Amino acid sequence: MGEQKIRIMDTTLRDGSHAVRHQFTKENVRQIVQALDEAGVPVIEVTHGDGLGGSTIQYGVSLVDEMELIEEAVKTSKRAKIAALLLPGVGTKKELMQAKDIGIEMVRIATQCSEADVSQQHFGLAKELGLETVGFLMMAHMLPPEELAEQARLMESYGADTVYIVDSAGTMMPDDVSDRVDALRKVLQIPIGFHGHNNMGLAIGNSIAAIKAGALNIDTSTRGLGAGSGNTQTEVLVGVLSRLGYETGIDLFKIMDAAEYIVNPVMHDQMIINRDALTIGCMGVYSTFLIHAKNAGEKFGVDPRNILMELGRRKAVAGQEDWILDVAAELSEMKG
């Protein structure tokens, strides 16, 4: 039986932005936030899929400016905290201050797992603004547990209230997750979180492994809507945790209905583990590369799996989306 409450942070309106090609409307945000809030979801993240300032040609242009979406979320939510994601180098202090003025209460500051040092000034500003702060160590499978823990300790020293182990590629096994949570627990005084993707069908299992190892915060996405084959599915995890005796404060039937009747109709595709998503998991490639690789594959007449395999070989990470077209062009020339 679980003894402590698990805090769910729902990323449908952020990670899910990738899966709908950043086409969320204000009405989508209003309906989804209202449904999640009424179900008792405590934190709802709303931004472009690549965070504040992510609406660009490189990452994908949003249909509606994210500040308008954040404003709609803040206006709609009655209980849930509205959070924003910030990747230093994509978003700037300017966007963070603007989002704070609109009404976010939390910022999740994300870096490549080995580059926590680039986040210091952003954590500093966030604390000055009175925001709750979450550190996000992306592609966490790329560092051994002890080295990852050192990066987490840096984020804690900068002012993070929580640090997340982020399985951006959906490539971790449950033992990988447990080992990393254990390593962070040994050096941190703050809570630990886990963000999983389902490219190998392990998002729920890995989230449970994280909780069993001591993580108190778990990222989810309603109906699994997210990059790659999607995220840990909110309504499923709530059901599983209920069976295990953990408290989340989320009403199971209401979150089921939110998934079925509110989120499902706005999805472009169902979240399934297809051949390309599985390749991402097997190769340890950033989940957000999936749609870009498919588009590049069509443009250059090459198998997206070959693009993803080459990106994995090159150890491509967030911010290197421009490599995808380069790789596709090179593979097309080799084939020709």
79: DSSP letter:
S
Catalytic residues: 18
Tell me the pTM.
0.93
Say how far apart CA 133 and CA 144 lie, in whole Å: 24
Confidence of residue 151 (pLDDT cuts 50, 70, 90): very high
Has residue 275 got a pLDDT over 50?
yes
Q: Which residue has the higher pLDDT, 238 or 286?
A: 238
Q: Are 10 and 240 contacting, i.e. CB atoms less than 8 angstroms apart?
A: no
| Residue 195, marked binder | yes
For residue 44, the tally of other CB atoms under 10 A from its CB is: 26
**For 97-119, what is each residue's pLDDT tens digit?**
999 999 999 999 999 999 999 99
Share of the chain above pLDDT 70, in %: 98
Q: Is 15 annotated as a binding residue?
A: yes
| Complete domains list, the chain, with CATH | 7-265 (3.20.20.70), 288-335 (1.10.8.60)
Token pair, residue 78, equals 């009655």
275 marked as binding residue? no
What pLDDT, on the 0 to 100 scale, is given for residue 330? Answer: 86
d(CA 234, CA 225): 10
The three-class DSSP label of residue 162 is: strand
Evaluate if residue 2 carries a pLDDT over 50: no
Average pLDDT over residues 124-132: 98
Element counts in the chain: helices (H) and strands (E): 14, 8
Kindly state the average pLDDT of the residues 292-317.
Answer: 85
Both structure tokens of 34:
């209202």
Tens-place pLDDT, residues 23-58:
999 999 999 999 999 999 999 999 999 999 999 888
Q: Does the annotation place 219 within a ligand binding site? A: no
Does the annotation list 286 as a binding residue?
yes
Q: How confident is the model over 78-89, as pLDDT tens digits?
A: 999 999 999 999
Residues with Cβ within 8 Å of residue 197, at least 6 apart in sequence: 167, 168, 169, 170, 203, 226, 227, 228, 229, 230, 231, 281, 287
Per-residue buried b or exposed e for 132-159, using 16+ beta carbons within 10 Å of the residue's own CB: bbbbbbbbbbbbebeebbebbbbbbebb
Query: Is residue 147 predicted with pLDDT exceeding 70?
Result: yes
Residue 189 has pLDDT above 50, yes or no: yes
Query: What integer is the mean pLDDT of 1-23?
Result: 90
Higher pLDDT, 60 or 73: 73
**Long-range CB contact pairs, 323-331, < 8 A, 24+:** 324/289, 324/292, 324/293, 324/296, 325/296, 325/299, 327/296, 328/293, 328/296, 328/297, 328/299, 328/300, 328/302, 329/300, 331/300, 331/302, 331/306, 331/307
246 in a labelled binding site: no
Enumerate residues 6+ apart whose C-beta is below 8 A from 330: 310
Q: Given 3-state DSSP classes, what are the helix, strand and coil percentages for the chain, each rounded to the nearest 5?
A: 50, 15, 35
Please report which confidence band the pLDDT of residue 3 belongs to, taking 50, 70 and 90 as the band edges. low
Number of CB atoms found within 10 A of residue 99's CB = 26
> What angle do the packed helices 93-102 and 120-128 form, to 10 degrees?
30
What is the DSSP secondary structure assignment for residue 171, as one 8-state letter? -
Higher local confidence (pLDDT), 255 or 316:
255
Largest CA distance in the chain: 60
Quote the pLDDT of residue 1: 45
For the segment 208-258, what is each residue's pLDDT rounded down to a tens digit? 999 999 999 999 999 999 999 999 999 999 999 999 999 999 999 999 999
Neighbours of 129 (CB within 10 A): 16
Mean of pLDDT over the chain:
94
